[in-house]
Amino acid sequence: MRVTDEVREASAVVALESTILAHGLPPGRNRKVATRLEETIRAAGAVPATIAVLDGEPRIGLTGDELDRVCSTELVKLSRRDLAPAYALRRDGATTVAATAAIAAAGGIRVFATGGLGGVHRGAADTFDVSADLDVLAETPIVVVCSGVKSILDIGATLEVLETRSIPVLGYRTATFPAFYLRESAYPAPWTVRTPAEAAAVARAHFGSVPGTAGIVLANPVPREAEMPRGLHDELLAGGLARLAERGITGHDVTPALLEHFHAASGGVSIDTNEELVVANAALAAEVAVALAA
C-alpha cells in the first residue's frame, strides 16, 4: 500500500473513490471534477486522499499525473472482492465504495466522501442483487458521507439491510433519507444531526464505545439548487424501467443501463446533479474530518 506523505502526516483526511471518475463522469469533465473535489476538501482544512489501484498497488492519495491516468485510461471497476486479483496480476483499477472504504480504513482514514451508497436492487428477491457496499460497511469503521442511495434502487429494502447490519444512518439536517438526485425519499432517516461537530461526536462515540466494527452512513441531501426536478426524475425512471423490460436487461447490467438512460435522456441534467452532490458531500466530509481530528 502506498500512502502519500501529505496524507500520512495529516490529522484530517477525506478518502475519495476513483470509480466516479473513471466510470461515472464523461472524459474531460471527470478530471475537472477530480480537481474540484480535492480543492473543496483542502478549502475546508482537510487533506484529500483519492484512492485507486495502479500497477497492482493500492494507492492512497494520487498525484496529478495519476489522476490524469485514472481519468483518461479505461480502468476495470474494482469492488473489495476484486482487489486480490488486481494486486496479484498487477492491474490498474478504479475502486468502488466497497473497495475504497476497505483500503481507506486499512490506511487509518475515518471519513470517506462519495456520491451515492450502493444498495438493494429492485427485484433483489429474485436476483439476489445487493451491493457489496452494505456488507463491507457493516465491518469497516468509516463514516461514509453520501446523498443516500440512488432512487433507481429499492431504498426501503436498503434501509432495512442497514438496520440489520447495525449500521447507524444519520440524516444531515434532514429527517428524511435522501434519494441521490432527489432531496427526499419516502423513508425517514433514523437519526438527524445538525452540524459537522454533531456528526463527529456520533462517530467518536460509535467507534470508541460501541462493540463491533460497523461504519456510519451520513446522508447529505443534494443541494436544493442542484436537485433534479421531480417530474423529470419520475419520467426518466419510468422510461428507464420500461427500457430494461423491453431489452431483457437484468442483474449487474441494470444500474449502468439505468444511469446511461438518465444521462442521455436528461440532456446532461443528471450529470450536473451528480457533480454538485458529490462536491457538497466532499465539503461536509472535510468538515467532519476536521471536527474528528479536533
Contact 116, 149 (CB under 8 A): yes
With cut-offs at 50, 70 and 90, classify the pLDDT of residue 143.
Answer: very high
| Torsion angles phi and psi, residue 167, rounded to 5 | -100, 115
Q: What pLDDT score was predicted for residue 223?
A: 97
Task: Find, among 178, 116, 185, 174, the residue nearest to 144 by Cα.
Answer: 116
Residue 139 appears among annotated catalytic residues? no
Q: Which residues lie closer than 8 Å to 69 by C-beta, 6 or more apart?
A: 54, 92
**CATH fold group of domain 2-293:** Indigoidine synthase fold (3.40.1790)
Asked if residue 203 has pLDDT above 80, the reply is: yes
3-class secondary structure for 39-65? HHHHHCCCEEEEEEEECCEEEECCCHH
Q: What percent of the chain clears pLDDT 90, i.e. is strictly above it? A: 83
Contact 142, 107 (CB under 8 A): no
Q: What pLDDT score was predicted for residue 260?
A: 84
Choice among 26-40, 116-130, 150-164, 196-210 with the minimum mean pLDDT: 116-130
Contact 21, 70 (CB under 8 A): yes
Span 146-153, mean pLDDT? 90
Residue 32 appears among annotated catalytic residues? no
Asked if residue 71 has pLDDT above 70, the reply is: yes
Span 184-190, mean pLDDT? 96
Q: What pLDDT score was predicted for residue 171?
A: 98
| Residue linked to cell 464505545 | 209
Q: Pick the catalytic residue: 17, 38, 184, 287?
A: 17
In one-letter notation, the amino acid at residue 60 is I
With cut-offs at 50, 70 and 90, classify the pLDDT of residue 248.
Answer: confident
Q: What pLDDT score was predicted for residue 252?
A: 62
Dist. CA 167–CA 160, nearest whole Å: 10
Contact 48, 14 (CB under 8 A): yes
In one-letter notation, the amino acid at residue 288 is V
Span 98-123, mean pLDDT? 94
For the chain, what is the mean pLDDT? Answer: 94
Q: Which residues lie closer than 8 Å to 182 by C-beta, 6 or more apart?
A: 151, 222, 227, 228, 230, 233
Q: What pLDDT score was predicted for residue 251?
A: 63
**Looking at residue 181, what DSSP letter applies?**
T
**Domain locations in the chain as residue ranges:** 2-293
Task: Summarize pLDDT for 268-291 with one digit per residue, the tens.
Answer: 899 999 999 999 999 999 999 999
Q: What pLDDT score was predicted for residue 133?
A: 94
Asked if residue 244 has pLDDT above 90, the reply is: no
Dist. CA 49–CA 77, nearest whole Å: 18
Phi-psi region of 121 (alpha: psi -120 to 50; beta: other; left: phi over 0): beta
Contact 147, 281 (CB under 8 A): yes
Q: Which residues lie closer than 8 Å to 38 by C-beta, 6 or more apart?
A: 16, 48, 50
CA distances from 232 to 46, 112, 222, 224, 227 (A): 36, 30, 16, 15, 11
Angle at 86 between CA 58 and CA 35, to 5 degrees: 45
Span 175-181, mean pLDDT? 96
Asked if residue 259 has pLDDT above 90, the reply is: no
Asked if residue 126 has pLDDT above 90, the reply is: no
Q: Pick the catalytic residue: 38, 150, 227, 275?
A: 150
| Residue linked to cell 483499477 | 93
Task: Summarize pLDDT for 14-47 with one digit per residue, the tens.
Answer: 999 999 999 889 899 999 999 999 999 999 999 9
With cut-offs at 50, 70 and 90, classify the pLDDT of residue 122.
Answer: confident
| Residue linked to cell 476495470 | 76
Dist. CA 267–CA 77, nearest whole Å: 26
Q: What pLDDT score was predicted for residue 11?
A: 97
